[in-house]
């Protein structure tokens, strides 16, 4: 399932007009899942795309590296387990910081609980 997701994302990049359509596969590893569910999959292409993934019944760990159409080096590492998919990469969006007024309001609420909460404590 995880391999299918990554392969789908990779195919979306391959279909873009700016990709080197003459790229060749330089290396390829495909060790199918054994009786315990352990597997390994990896490839590298002549246009700089590198992908690798390994997993077992407990989860998956992998990485993807390539150069974006804008010339930015993209490096994505991820894990996937029973708690979900966990990507890490500098190119991924991050939420904005919590505004100071919200932090002050939360601190006020913490230090001044409503009367009914005081009675329960």
SS3 40: strand
Tens-digit pLDDT profile for the chain (121 aa)? 455 445 445 544 544 555 678 889 999 999 998 988 899 999 999 998 999 999 998 999 999 999 988 889 999 999 999 999 999 999 899 889 999 999 999 999 999 988 765 556 5
- pLDDT given at position 8: 46
- pLDDT given at position 117: 58
Query: Judging by beta carbons within 10 Å of its beta carbon (0-12, 13-18, 19+), is residue 60 exposed, middle or buried?
Result: buried
- pLDDT given at position 56: 93
Nearest CA among 63, 64, 67 for reference residue 16: 67
- pLDDT given at position 33: 87
Sorted by where each begins, the domain ranges of the chain are 2-92
């Amino acid at each position: 399932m995880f391999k299918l997701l990554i392969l789908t994302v990779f195919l979306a990049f391959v279909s873009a007009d700016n990709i080197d359509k003459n790229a060749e596969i330089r290396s390829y590893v495909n060790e199918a899942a054994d009786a315990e569910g352990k597997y390994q999959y990896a490839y590298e292409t002549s246009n700089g795309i590198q992908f690798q993934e390994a997993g077992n019944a407990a989860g998956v760990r992998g990485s993807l590296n390539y150069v974006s159409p804008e010339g930015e080096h993209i490096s994505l590492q991820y894990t996937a387990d029973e708690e979900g998919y966990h990507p890490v990469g500098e190119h991924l969006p991050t939420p904005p910081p919590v505004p100071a007024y919200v932090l002050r309001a939360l601190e006020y609420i913490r230090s001044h609980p409503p009367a009914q909460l005081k009675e329960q404590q």
